[in-house]
């Protein structure tokens, strides 16, 4: 069993204008999970870079509002909304609100840098 206390996990700067708190992934969890769970924070007016990864993702919005682009479609998300991003989808998330956009992201199989390709 693994317990992670949010207050003991520091944000790190991600490569896509985001701050990241990594909660669970196969490297820091002893029970053999195959996914990763992280919290992301995106400042007002910022967006992640257009990218695609080999894994599927689920976003869950904790605070704020954003616009998610998946391939040619755009979706507006707000607090308590969730979205599924299929593997190998071109995507970005933009903070379109008046407060920090905070969201959880589950990646399965777990995120690996070699599986993430920046497209811009």
The three-point CA angle 32-38-41 to 5° equals 175
The three-point CA angle 71-35-19 to 5° equals 70
Q: Give the mean pLDDT of 38-52.
A: 95
Confidence of residue 30 (pLDDT cuts 50, 70, 90): confident
- pLDDT tens-digit map of 70-106: 999 999 999 999 999 999 999 999 999 999 999 999 9
SS3 of residue 55 by DSSP = coil
- pLDDT tens-digit map of 96-118: 999 999 999 999 998 888 888 99
Domains of the chain: 11-118 (2.60.120.10)
pLDDT for residue 9: 92
Residues 75, 96 contacting (CB under 8 angstroms): no
Q: What is the pTM of this model?
A: 0.91
């Amino acid at each position: 069993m693994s317990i992670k206390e949010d207050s003991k996990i520091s944000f790190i700067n991600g490569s896509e204008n985001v701050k990241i708190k990594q909660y669970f992934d196969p490297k820091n969890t002893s029970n053999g999970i195959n996914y990763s769970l992280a919290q992301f924070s995106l400042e007002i007016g910022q967006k992640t870079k257009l990218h695609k990864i080999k894994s599927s993702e689920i976003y869950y919005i904790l605070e704020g509002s954003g616009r998610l682009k998946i391939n040619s479609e755009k979706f507006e998300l707000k607090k308590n909304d969730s979205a599924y991003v299929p593997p190998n989808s071109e995507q970005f998330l933009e903070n379109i609100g008046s407060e920090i956009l905070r969201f959880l992201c589950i990646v399965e199989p777990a995120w690996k840098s070699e599986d993430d390709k920046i497209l811009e």
